[in-house]
Amino acid sequence: MKKTALYTAMASSLLLASGTLLAEDTNESTGWDYKGQAVVYYQTADGYGRGGLFDQGPSDTNSGWAAAAAGLQLTATNKDITNGFGVGLQLSGLSSLGLEEDIVSGMVQNAGSLNDAAITQAYVTYAANKTSVKYGRQELPKSLSPFAFTEGWNAFKNTFEALLVVNSDIKDTTLVFASVSEHNNSVGSLNDFSDFHSAKGPAYMVTAQNKSIKGVTLTGSYYAIPDAVSSAGSYVTDAEAFWLDAGFKVGKANIGLQGGYIGGLSLTGTSDTKAFGAKISGKIDKFSYSFAFSSADDGTLNIANLAGAGVKTPLYTQGALNQNVIKRDSDSFKATISMSAMGGKFIGSFLTSDMGDTALSSTFGLGVSGSGTYNEYDFIYKKSLTKNIPIFAAFIIQQDDRQGSDDYQNFFRVWARYNF
C-alpha cells in the first residue's frame, strides 16, 4: 500500500467511526476529542566495531546496522457518549519510506509490513462516582503496573488487551485491578498481538497506591500469571510477581525505594529473581541530579516488563540501552545530571553494572552473557522547536568487557514528532 493511500484510509476510518467531521466546533458540540502525531525515527549502531556507525548493514547481523520508520497516528476519544459510557479509537500507520533499499537494514517498528497500519487502541469506558472501567485495547502506565506497562521509547507506544478498573473511594488511595490477556510489542509489529507472557489465560494484577502522608507515595502491585508456558512448551502454574515502590521528599530531595520479585514457576531449572533499588534526586540551581542503585540476584527470571520482548525494567537504574544487563544477577549504578540550555535540555548519564554468571548480554550485543562489567554513557538532547514539534537526539557509548578486544559500541538515535 502506498503511503498516501495508507494515511488517507487511516483518517477516513476515524472519521467514519465518529460519524462527524474533524472540526473544532464539532468537537465541542459532540464531546469528541481528536488528536494525532506524525513521527520520523532513525537509529544506528556499529556492532562493537564490526561495522560503521551509519552503515546500512545486513538485517540479520550486528555488523553495523541502521533502522528507521515514519509514522502517522490518529486518535479519537469521547469520555461520555451517554450515561457515563465512552469510547476510544487509535490508528497507527508506519512506513519504511523505501529507506531499506540503501539507507537502513530494517524498521525500528512496523505494523506487519514495510507500509501498513494497526489499530493500537480500541476500548470502551464507563465511569460512575469514583470508579472507572476501561475494556479493550489500551495503554497501561508503569506507575500503576510495573510489570506490564506501555513503553514510550519507540516510534509509537505498545498496547494491551485488558480490563482495567480504577477506584478512589478511599481517601488518598487508588485501587487498581487489571486482567491482561494479550499485548503487542514495543519492538516489532504493532499488529502482532499475542498471549501475555506466553500464558494460556489472562494475567491478573492488583495495585494499591496511597498518598495519605504528605510528600509520600506508596505503591504496591501483585501479579498472578496462571498457566504460564515454559520454554519447552509445557504448562506450569502459579507464576507471580510482586513490586513495591516508596517515594518521599526529604527537604529538597526526592527519595525512592523499590523492591520485589518474579517467580513461583513450578518448573525444574527455574528460580525466583529478587531485586531492590534506591534513588535520590533533586535540583541545585540550574542543574537537576539523580543517583540510583539497583541489585538483582542470580535467579533465572527477568525483573522487567513482562510484555513482549520485555524490553524495559521498573528499576531506577534503567537507562537508554542498559536494560538487559540490569534485569538479573547484577549490581548497577546510575548517575544523571541535566540542565536547560540552548532552548532545550541536555542530559548526561553514566551507568555501570557488575554482572554475575547468569547475567544477560548487553542490548544490541552479540549474545555474550555471563559475568563481567558493563558501562554506558548517555548523552541526550531534547528540544521543542515549536509548541507542537519536539525533537530528541541521543549518542550512547556502550562498553562490555565480555565482547573481547572490540568492547565498545557507538549508538545514535534521533526522532522528531509533530503533534496536532
Domain assignment present for 28 = yes
Q: By percentage, how much of the chain surpasses pLDDT 90?
A: 70
Instruction: Work out whether the CA dihedral 45, 49, 53, 58 comes out positive or negative.
Output: negative
C-beta of residue 401 within 8 angstroms of C-beta of residue 325? no
For residue 59, the model assigns a pLDDT of 67
Check whether 129 has a pLDDT greater than 70.
Answer: yes
Domain assignment present for 240 = no
* Set of cell numbers at residue 47: 556492532
Domain assignment present for 64 = yes
Domain assignment present for 33 = yes
Q: pLDDT grade, residue 62 (50/70/90)?
A: low
For residue 12, the model assigns a pLDDT of 42
For residue 363, the model assigns a pLDDT of 73
Domain assignment present for 62 = yes
For residue 227, the model assigns a pLDDT of 63
Q: Which residue spans within 27-149 are E strands per DSSP?
A: 32-45, 65-82, 85-95, 106-107, 109-110, 115-128, 131-138
Question: Averaged over 313-322, what is the pLDDT?
Answer: 97
Where is average pLDDT lowest: 158-172, 267-281, 288-302, 390-404? 267-281
Domain assignment present for 319 = no
Q: Record the pTM.
A: 0.89
Check whether 386 has a pLDDT greater than 90.
Answer: yes
Check whether 71 has a pLDDT greater than 70.
Answer: yes
For residue 225, the model assigns a pLDDT of 81
Residue 65 structural domain: 1-74+91-111
Read off the DSSP letter of residue 388: T
For residue 338, the model assigns a pLDDT of 98
Q: By percentage, how much of the chain surpasses pLDDT 70?
A: 85
Nearest-angstrom CA–CA distance, 268 and 325:
24
User: Which residues neighbour 137 within 8 Å (Cβ) at sequence distance 6 or greater?
Assistant: 119, 120, 121, 122, 123, 159, 160, 161
Domain assignment present for 362 = no
Nearest-angstrom CA–CA distance, 287 and 283:
6
Check whether 16 has a pLDDT greater than 50.
Answer: no
Domain count, the chain: 1
Domain assignment present for 405 = no
Average pLDDT, the chain: 88
